[in-house]
């Protein structure tokens, strides 16, 4: 379903059992909301989040997904924590979006059941969010992160931080930034985190690739499951 938060649209996915089960559900706050559920609203194809979540529900993994619309032309600024307004954006997600969703839907409040997910600049802001607000986010999906966009600042900022939680990070073999992704993975291995790293050979930087890798990402983030036939770092 779609709701409006001020002048920004949110897309809310509810699990199949939501109406018959009164429990709170894990929640994933996902960036670029217009690209997640519907080709008609997407930039260049959809992530098929609803279809993926239905498949995972049949496997026993259910969660609420909140797709947060990006700001269009200001997207890169909004998702940049050091040279843009990324810090304010994370505060907006925590203080406004989460509060609005919690008012109307049964979402879990524990960090270990609250996550953030995105791709490219949305991936880097997801990693920033779990590092900056561990009191809120306990897992993060960092797909095709654009560390090259932020330069050395992201590595310098992550370096001394005491991080925890569960992080999934991936990249396609044809993408810019493969080396940077593996460099960040090495840095994260020095932290107290559960880390899964995937490089998909021959994959480009687009929504189709993210949709293809999303089930594996969410299996790990929501349940700690690792499929036996994937390519790991």
When the pLDDT of each residue in the chain is averaged and rounded to a whole number, the result is 92
Count CB-CB contacts under 10 A for residue 50.
17
| Nearest one of 175, 170, 186, 182 to 227, comparing CA atoms | 170
In the chain, what are the domain boundaries? 2-223
| Side-by-side strand order, sheet with 114-119 | 2-5, 8-13, 64-68, 27-30, 114-119, 139-143, 164-172, 192-200
Q: What is the pLDDT of residues 36-58, one digit of tens each?
A: 998 766 667 789 999 999 999 99
| Nearest one of 167, 169, 230, 174 to 206, comparing CA atoms | 174
d(CA 181, CA 55): 28
Contacts from 1-4 at CB under 8 Å and sequence distance 24+?
3/100, 3/104
pLDDT value of residue 41: 67
Secondary element (H or E) of residue 89: helix 86-92
pLDDT-derived band at 231 (thresholds 50, 70, 90) equals very low
Span 28-42, average pLDDT: 87
1 has pLDDT over 70: no
96 has pLDDT over 90: yes
Q: What is the pLDDT of residues 177-209, one digit of tens each?
A: 999 999 999 999 999 999 999 999 999 999 999
- 39 Cβ neighbours under 8 A, 6+ residues apart: 45, 46
**Residue linked to tokens 């040279």:** 83
199 forms beta bridges with: 171
pLDDT value of residue 180: 96
Secondary element (H or E) of residue 102: helix 98-104
- Could you tell me the two tokens for 135? 């009191």
User: Do the beta carbons of residue 171 and residue 179 sit within 8 Å?
Assistant: no
pLDDT-above-70 percentage for the chain: 91
CATH homologous superfamily for the domain 2-223: Alpha/Beta hydrolase fold, catalytic domain (3.40.50.1820)
């Amino acid at each position: 379903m779609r709701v409006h938060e001020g002048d920004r649209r949110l897309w809310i996915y509810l699990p199949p059992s939501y109406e018959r089960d009164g429990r709170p559900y894990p929640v994933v706050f996902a960036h670029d909301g217009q690209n997640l559920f519907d080709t008609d609203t997407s930039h260049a194809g959809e992530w098929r989040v609803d279809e993926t979540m239905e498949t995972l529900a049949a496997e026993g993994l259910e969660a609420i997904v909140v797709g947060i619309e990006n700001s269009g032309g200001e997207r890169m600024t909004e998702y940049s924590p050091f040279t843009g307004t990324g810090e304010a954006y994370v505060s907006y997600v925590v203080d406004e979006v989460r509060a609005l969703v919690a008012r109307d839907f049964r979402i879990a409040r524990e960090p270990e059941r609250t996550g953030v997910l995105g791709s490219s600049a949305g991936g880097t802001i997801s990693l920033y969010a779990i590092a900056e607000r561990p009191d809120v986010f306990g897992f993060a999906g960092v797909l095709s992160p654009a560390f090259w966009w932020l330069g050395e600042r992201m590595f310098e900022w992550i370096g001394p931080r005491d991080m925890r939680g569960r992080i999934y990070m991936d990249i396609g073999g044809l993408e810019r930034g493969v080396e940077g992704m593996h460099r960040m993975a090495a840095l994260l291995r020095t932290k107290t985190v559960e880390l899964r790293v995937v490089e998909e050979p021959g994959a480009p930087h687009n929504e189709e690739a993210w949709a293809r890798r999303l089930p594996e990402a969410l299996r790990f983030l929501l349940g700690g499951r690792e499929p036996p036939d994937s390519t790991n770092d």
